[in-house]
Structure 1
Amino acid sequence: MSSASQSRPWDVRLLPPAEGKVFLVTGGNAGIGYFVAEQLAATGAVVVLGSRDAAKADAAAASIRSHVSGARVRQLPLDLADLSSLKSAVDALGVDRLDAVVHNAGVALDDPPRRETRDGHELMFGTNHLGHFALTRWLAPLLSAAPAGRVVTVGSFAARSERLDLDDLQSARDYRPKRTYGRSKLAQMSFAFELDRRLRATGSTVLSVVAHPGGALDSLTPSRPPVHVTTGGERLRALPAGLLVQGKDAGAWPVVRAVLDPDAAGGQMWGPRVFGLRGAPRREPAMAHMTDPAVAARLWAASCDLVGADPGPGFR
């Protein structure tokens, strides 16, 4: 890091200004994505909420404006489970460049049965990984047009204990919801690290960075009605857990730093400082199975085939 950064520690409540920049947050209408969008809006940037639910996106935008004076926020209809709709969604952005996209939106199912997207892909893998994989393809020209575009992928602790089954990526033979979710997040992270390797190999100015929220609970999250409401009783009961984990507002901090920190580099991973579960954001090492280039290359080829993308060195 530069000497300036070392003498001025990162302050989650004093973010660097980003006037003139444009950020897209998928799933920016709820959860971690909402707080990422709210915090980015406080920098003066234009923040676009990518959401498949227009009413929820409108409510989130109104909430952000009520908490951030002068917030410049708008919504973009975006359904990651419908691959054929993504190019039109990107065209509807109506911008000549994109400074960062935050790949945050996701589906997490707790119980069987196995479900599929309209394209016939397993729902969690199809939305969490393939949807973002395809979206990146269409956003590539806009990201390349920015002085220093970034792709920030939101990973998960659930990926730590999982391994990809490259012969059953869509859990057709072995569907267990929690495992399938963890593998979909691992696929996202593996893609993000591979994307940065390919971007570096082609001399691109775009960076691909991974961030994860650690342990982030609704019950420790400040209310943002109607987007999210935490009762006093829920917060009180969650206080013991607050020793180890945090709310989704704090869970957004590593993601926001990955977007804004001028010293963040491609291929890095950012997470909470305390055991990777809570606290201020810091850089942390990625586990070997997340960055395995051989696995990532096979995942990349399979993903290109599934979404109909050019399997070349990068997205063009």
Structure 2
Amino acid sequence: MPSTPSVPLTPPWDVHRLPSAAGKTFLVTGGNAGIGYFVAEQLAGTGATVVLGSRDRARAEAAIASIGARVPGAAVRHVPLDLADPASLRACVDALGLDRLDAVVHNAGVALDHPPRRDTADGHELMFATNHLGHFALTHHLAPLLMAAPGSRIVTTGSFAAKSERLDLDDLQSRHDYRPKRAYARSKLAQMLFALELDRRLRAADSTTLSVLVHPGGALDSLTPSRPPVHVRTPGARLSRLPLRLVVQGKDAAAWPAVRAVLDPAVRGGVMLGPRAFGLRGTPRIEPLWEHLADTATAARLWAASRDLTRLEPAFR
């Protein structure tokens, strides 16, 4: 009997052997520090041009120097970006100077630990404005560049903190009951619902752009390798937290889900990538959506509220 031709299998994703992305351009918001820095460093190693969107030019330049020291020939640059300032969003897109963008990683965020509640100049609660509304509006401004790149990707970084939270659609900005940690978790949940609603709208428009949701699991500075002057880990800090490596990980590993979401041709829109081990550590995998992330009615109401608050609406046609 004739032999049956073998069907080539997609090789398992290897976080240490990333595919080439030469000729592509990626924007990473908050790429000057934390997880965003390692997303940028890892993407730079693929030969792509990586743009760091950051409020702080000095910190961005330090990150660029650090990446350049580890990735010979890295093509990395900075554009000013303040997600809490609507004018900065428009200026950022102009400063890109691009006619197409292959991916944006919505990574930047702010987390406040203590009251009082802080507002932006437009009167929005700072964490909700920065983490969600700013990325919602930035997606609107980037839409023409993303549409010009077939198969472009919008990667949104959520948080494990959002798993146990629910949105209060009547108090999205925590005006009546402000608790900083809860407000942060809800702002990240809003981002996650936005990413999934965006993918539904992209599919309805027959767009080739994909919206992919990721979360980094548990990430600690003390388990993160040093990248001076961006991040310096002392031997004492490393040793004191070493047992936690069984449960969580460093920010270098926490970047893996976003990097895979940008680069892996097998990833489809509307999925969520997170760490393999209990959603807290390990190599990235596609994982089932949390039950409340499948609430399309809440996502649609959040979208409408975000449109009204920003007076903008991401559209891909």
Same-fold call, TM cutoff 0.5: yes
Matches within 5 A, 1:200-279: 200-279=203-282
| CA 35–120 in structure 1, closer or farther in 2 if over 3 Å, else same | same
Task: Name the residue aligned to 1:98.
Answer: 101
Residues in 2 aligned to 1:109 and 1:200: alpha-carbon distance in whole angstroms? 35
Show structure 2 runs of 5+ residues with no match: 1-6
Counterpart selection for 1:14 from 11, 17, 31 = 17
| CA 79–5 in structure 1, closer or farther in 2 if over 3 Å, else same | farther
| In the alignment, structure 1 residue 286 sits paired with structure 2 residue 289 | yes
Matches within 5 A, 1:86-165: 86-165=89-168
Amino acid at match of 1:240: P
C-alpha root-mean-square deviation of aligned residues, in Å? 1.0
Residues in 2 aligned to 1:98 and 1:4: alpha-carbon distance in whole angstroms? 31
Residues in 2 aligned to 1:220 and 1:4: alpha-carbon distance in whole angstroms? 38
| CA 138–242 in structure 1, closer or farther in 2 if over 3 Å, else same | same
Larger radius of gyration: 2
Could you report, residue by residue, the CA deviation over 1:78-106 in whole angstroms, capped at 9, with x for unpaired residues?
Answer: 00010122112101100110000000000
| In the alignment, structure 1 residue 295 sits paired with structure 2 residue 298 | yes
Report the TM-score when normalising by structure 1.
0.97
| CA 310–217 in structure 1, closer or farther in 2 if over 3 Å, else same | closer
Partners of 1:136 and 1:315 within 8 A in 2: no
Counterpart selection for 2:72 from 65, 69, 74 = 69
Counterpart selection for 1:84 from 73, 82, 87 = 87
Amino acid at match of 2:53: G
Amino acid at match of 2:302: L
Task: Name the residue aligned to 2:3.
Answer: none
Show structure 1 runs of 5+ residues with no match: none
Could you report, residue by residue, the CA deviation over 1:237-256 in whole angstroms, capped at 9, with x for unpaired residues?
Answer: 01010110000000000110
Matched residue SS, 1:239: helix
Residues in 2 aligned to 1:18 and 1:315: alpha-carbon distance in whole angstroms? 24
Percent identity of paired positions between Structure 1 and Structure 2: 73
Amino acid at match of 2:106: H
Counterpart selection for 1:180 from 152, 162, 183 = 183
Counterpart selection for 2:170 from 164, 167, 186 = 167
Task: Name the residue aligned to 1:52.
Answer: 55
Residues in 2 aligned to 1:89 and 1:14: alpha-carbon distance in whole angstroms? 32
Partners of 2:101 and 2:152 within 8 A in 1: yes
Could you report, residue by residue, the CA deviation over 1:170-200 in whole angstroms, capped at 9, with x for unpaired residues?
Answer: 0000100000000000000000000000000
Residues in 2 aligned to 1:233 and 1:212: alpha-carbon distance in whole angstroms? 28
Matched residue SS, 1:92: helix
Task: Name the residue aligned to 1:195.
Answer: 198
| CA 175–143 in structure 1, closer or farther in 2 if over 3 Å, else same | same
| In the alignment, structure 1 residue 23 sits paired with structure 2 residue 26 | yes
How many pairs were matched up? 311
Matched residue SS, 2:127: helix
Residues in 2 aligned to 1:196 and 1:221: alpha-carbon distance in whole angstroms? 32
Residues in 2 aligned to 1:183 and 1:216: alpha-carbon distance in whole angstroms? 19
Amino acid at match of 1:138: H
Residues in 1 aligned to 2:177 and 2:261: alpha-carbon distance in whole angstroms? 34
Residues in 1 aligned to 2:134 and 2:99: alpha-carbon distance in whole angstroms? 22
Runs of 4+ off more than 4 Å: none
Amino acid at match of 2:23: G
| CA 310–282 in structure 1, closer or farther in 2 if over 3 Å, else same | closer
Amino acid at match of 1:230: R
Report the CA distance between 1:291 and its aligned residue. 2.6
Stretch deviating more after TM superposition (214-223 or 301-310): 301-310
Partners of 1:44 and 1:72 within 8 A in 2: yes
Partners of 2:25 and 2:51 within 8 A in 1: yes
Counterpart selection for 2:307 from 297, 304, 309 = 304
Report the CA distance between 1:70 and its aligned residue. 0.8
